[in-house]
Chain A
Amino acid sequence: MKLYEFQGKALFKEAGIPVPRGVIVTSSDSSGLFAPSVVKAQVLSGGRGKAGGVALVSTIEEAREAADSILAMELKGEPVKALLVEEKADIIREFYLAVTFDGEAGTPLFMASAEGGMDIEAVAEKTPEKILKLPADPLWGVTDYKIRALADFLGIEDKRAFADLVRKVWKLFREKDAVLVEINPLVLTGSGLVALDSKIEIDDNARPRLKALFDEKLAEQAAITGAVPEEDSGTITYVPLEGDVGLISDGAGTGMLSLDLIRDMGGEAADFCEMGGLTSPEVMYAAMDRVFSDKPRIKSLLVVLIGGFNRMDEMAEGITSYVRDHKVSIPLVVRLCGTMEEEGKVIMKEAGLPVYDDLLTAVADAVRHSGEGR
């Protein structure tokens, strides 16, 4: 779950990390607007400043104008529905500070740079030496010598205040099951360090144990976007694509392999739909429903199943009950093998549905059928 800036800052405030005073407004005639101030679009995507989603204003008229124009914007496809209006900060220096994890090393990772501000991606690409990456031990936390290393790298003099802030960021990262806590910029002002922005992402896997936090933040987000708070999406990964061969797999690796083979054989996949390695008849049914409702014009459906944890009798049940409940008029190419495959093949046979064993043959047939249907 990605948080809006104002939601992240509420967590900062709770954690004792200084943030500017600010209000959330959703229209330009709001009595919450004030000046001088900074008017900022609340969106989940990055690169907001460069796209004009942030305005410095000195009068209330300017604030209204900025609010009007920013609320009419769409940033990376996301319509702006709310603004955070904050006091201006007297910036002496700007830093970048984040904690996330390095999946390949399997450790938490602090990142810091004295080149704070908008374009940290460009700094990372052009001058990686200007970013300090410091792994941390999750069990020991952020130790004093690591904090000193960060402070020295950033050239921060008031090490005590910085240490206090870093410890609070770490505590927030751990307690809220964050996968990212980013402050860009973290600024030094006359009155100390202040987090001018926040980017926080909470681990969806932790949702069951942080139910209250998820409920609160998702309800806030739904109130802004007008959408219904999203339910736990389960294990299905669905990505719509451009072609006309529908694709469902029970593994990401075999799903990507099928995508490659479809293209190699002259076809184009209509989607990528992966169910996860431990799944059920209901998930199989839901995956077919997803593909057919999103891509009603596919010319064939290729289902690539190879069971380990996943049981082929259950997959066959899911497929056959979907076919019973819906009129499927396009060719269904099902490659089914692995755990409980004999049972699965019997269920498919009883429903009059063919089963493939060889992946290449299955892909070739699915692509051929898509050509015939054109």
Chain B
Amino acid sequence: MAILADRNTRVLVQGITGKSGILQTRSLIDYGTIVTAGVTPGKAGTTVEGVPVFNSAAEALERVEANAAISFVPPLFAKDAAMEAMEAGIKLIVLTMEGIPNHDVLDILAYASGRGVRVLGPGTAGIISPGKCKLGAHPARMYREGKVGVVSKSGALSYEVSKTLTDAGIGQSTVVALGGGPIWGTTQLDVIKLFNEDPETEAIVLLGEIGGGTETAAAEYIAGHVTKPVVSLIVGRAAPEGRSLGHAGAIIRGRAGTAESKMKALEEAGALVATTPARVVELIRKLG
């Protein structure tokens, strides 16, 4: 099972002929992900790593099967590409690029919600269901198949904690990074709901950071609905107040967004709260 991406995922790579597109397509295929098509306008008839390239998503879907798209399209053209993929019938879009204009992101999300499309990102490292499918930038050796679901805003932090889990012999069902921009599609809450319903996920790791209220919203849901154990790590305890630390969300607004307030909300919701990746491993181990 896993969530969002598994052995049934058939991937369309948008912007496949760019530097990132080529490198990442190779890495997806090396991992065993089934990439059925690539799209770059004007490049139809060529191939990248053996994957046929089409001029548009619609053309690609007439010829091959695809149910998810990962986009490496440059920021100013990302909106057009995302809408094209949605209109062609894709139901899951992973937007890897940072720097997409905010109004374009708003348009993409509005268009997606009208069509029942799930958008991950923008600025996301993507999804990996170890042993089944990699739909993102995850370095493969840091993952192994298992039963812990991981959700994180930050891509790098999701690699870091997964690496610590994997080094300790604890595998993951799916690891999802959401992206660090000021606006994003899928939230922690959305992913926690999916993990809670996924029979292959036995415990959930929630990685959060200072700023915003999404971890607090997730905590409310955890308290009322989540039956599986949740272990959480919130970073930014030592961050200076009121300063943006890269992620637009990571700026403290009032008391709501501090590491302490989030840790408290999660603790009260019944989650186990860690302060280091090593402690996340210890807490998962104790669950047995």
Q: Does B249 contact A (CB under 8 A)?
A: yes
Contacts of B181 in A (CB 8 A): 103
**Residues 193-213 of chain A, each 1 if its beta carbon lies under 8 Å from chain B, else 0:** 000000000010110110000
Q: Give complex CA distance A183, B207 in Å.
A: 37
Is there an interface contact between B275 and A264, defined as CB atoms closer than 8 Å?
yes
Closest to A242 in B: B240
Contacts of A255 in B (CB 8 A): 245-246
Once A308-B136, A309-B125 are accepted as A-B contacts, the answer to whether A205 and B101 lie under 8 Å apart by CB is yes
Q: B residues 150-164 with Cβ under 8 Å of A? A: 152-160, 163
Is there an interface contact between B139 and A308, defined as CB atoms closer than 8 Å?
yes
Q: A residues 93-118 with Cβ under 8 Å of B? A: 101, 103-104, 106-108
- The CB with the most chain A CB atoms within 10 A, among B101, B125, B238, is that of B238
Is there an interface contact between A239 and B236, defined as CB atoms closer than 8 Å?
no
Contacts of A103 in B (CB 8 A): 181-184, 212, 248-249
Q: Number of A residues contacting the other chain (C-beta, 8 Å)?
A: 54
Contacts of A35 in B (CB 8 A): none
Q: Give complex CA distance A309, B182 in Å.
A: 20
Contacts of B102 in A (CB 8 A): 101, 177, 179, 203, 205-206
Is there an interface contact between A237 and B245, defined as CB atoms closer than 8 Å?
yes
- The CB with the most chain B CB atoms within 10 A, among A208, A250, A256, A261, is that of A256
Is there an interface contact between B105 and A106, defined as CB atoms closer than 8 Å?
yes
Q: A residues 214-235 with Cβ under 8 Å of B? A: 235
Is there an interface contact between A104 and B235, defined as CB atoms closer than 8 Å?
no
Q: Does B52 contact A (CB under 8 A)?
A: no
Q: Does A262 contact B (CB under 8 A)?
A: yes
Is there an interface contact between B107 and A256, defined as CB atoms closer than 8 Å?
no
Which stretch in A19-27, A148-156, A270-278, A347-355 binds the other chain? A270-278
Is there an interface contact between B139 and A339, defined as CB atoms closer than 8 Å?
yes
Once A103-B248, A308-B156 are accepted as A-B contacts, the answer to whether A277 and B123 lie under 8 Å apart by CB is yes
Q: Give complex CA distance A269, B237 in Å.
A: 13
Once A106-B109, A139-B107 are accepted as A-B contacts, the answer to whether A262 and B238 lie under 8 Å apart by CB is yes
Is there an interface contact between A274 and B246, defined as CB atoms closer than 8 Å?
yes
Minimum CB–CB distance from B103 to chain A (whole Å) comes to 5
B154's partner among A179, A209, A251, A311 (CB-CB below 8 A) is: A251
Is there an interface contact between B275 and A307, defined as CB atoms closer than 8 Å?
no
Q: Give complex CA distance A264, B109 in Å.
A: 39
Which stretch in B7-15, B61-69, B92-100 binds the other chain? B92-100
B212's partner among A104, A235, A259, A274 (CB-CB below 8 A) is: A104
Closest to A358 in B: B167
Once A103-B249, A106-B183, A138-B107 are accepted as A-B contacts, the answer to whether A254 and B156 lie under 8 Å apart by CB is yes
Q: B residues 96-124 with Cβ under 8 Å of A? A: 96, 98-103, 105-107, 109-111, 114, 123
Closest to B254 in A: A125
Closest to B114 in A: A139
Once A138-B107, A251-B154 are accepted as A-B contacts, the answer to whether A209 and B76 lie under 8 Å apart by CB is yes
Is there an interface contact between B239 and A360, defined as CB atoms closer than 8 Å?
no
Is there an interface contact between A239 and B157, defined as CB atoms closer than 8 Å?
no
Is there an interface contact between A256 and B106, defined as CB atoms closer than 8 Å?
no
Is there an interface contact between A360 and B24, defined as CB atoms closer than 8 Å?
no
Contacts of B276 in A (CB 8 A): 257, 260-261, 264, 360
Contacts of B180 in A (CB 8 A): 252-253
Contacts of A260 in B (CB 8 A): 235-238, 275-276
Closest to B248 in A: A103
Q: Does B1 contact A (CB under 8 A)?
A: no
Q: Does B185 contact A (CB under 8 A)?
A: yes
Q: Does A359 contact B (CB under 8 A)?
A: yes
Q: Does B210 contact A (CB under 8 A)?
A: yes
Is there an interface contact between A263 and B183, defined as CB atoms closer than 8 Å?
no
Q: Give complex CA distance A253, B277 in Å.
A: 12
Q: Give complex CA distance A269, B239 in Å.
A: 10
A203's partner among B20, B101, B154, B243 (CB-CB below 8 A) is: B101
Minimum CB–CB distance from B14 to chain A (whole Å) comes to 15
Minimum CB–CB distance from A351 to chain B (whole Å) comes to 22
Closest to A140 in B: B110
Q: B residues 136-157 with Cβ under 8 Å of A? A: 136-139, 142, 152-157
Q: Does B244 contact A (CB under 8 A)?
A: yes
Is there an interface contact between A108 and B106, defined as CB atoms closer than 8 Å?
yes
Q: Does A72 contact B (CB under 8 A)?
A: no
Contacts of B139 in A (CB 8 A): 306-308, 337-339, 341
Contacts of B160 in A (CB 8 A): 253-254, 257, 306, 359
Once A256-B236, A259-B239, A309-B96 are accepted as A-B contacts, the answer to whether A139 and B111 lie under 8 Å apart by CB is yes
- The CB with the most chain A CB atoms within 10 A, among B101, B139, B246, is that of B246
Q: B residues 26-70 with Cβ under 8 Å of A? A: 27
Q: Give complex CA distance A160, B244 in Å.
A: 41
Is there an interface contact between A337 and B100, defined as CB atoms closer than 8 Å?
no
Provide a sorted-by-A list of 9 A–B residue pairs whose CB atoms are within 8 angstroms: A106-B105, A107-B110, A139-B110, A205-B75, A252-B250, A253-B155, A260-B275, A272-B245, A277-B123
Rank and list the top 10 A-B pairs by shortest CB-CB distance, nearest first.
Answer: A253-B154, A251-B156, A253-B157, A252-B246, A308-B137, A274-B246, A338-B139, A256-B235, A237-B246, A263-B238
Q: Point out residues on A near B: beta carbons under 8 Å.
A: 101, 103-104, 106-108, 125, 137-139, 174, 177, 179, 203, 205-206, 208-209, 235, 237, 239, 241, 249-257, 259-264, 269, 272, 274, 276-278, 306-309, 311, 337-339, 341, 359-360
Beyond A205-B102, A253-B158, A337-B142, 11 additional contacts (C-beta under 8 Å) are A104-B187, A106-B110, A205-B99, A251-B154, A251-B157, A253-B235, A254-B154, A254-B160, A259-B236, A308-B137, A309-B20
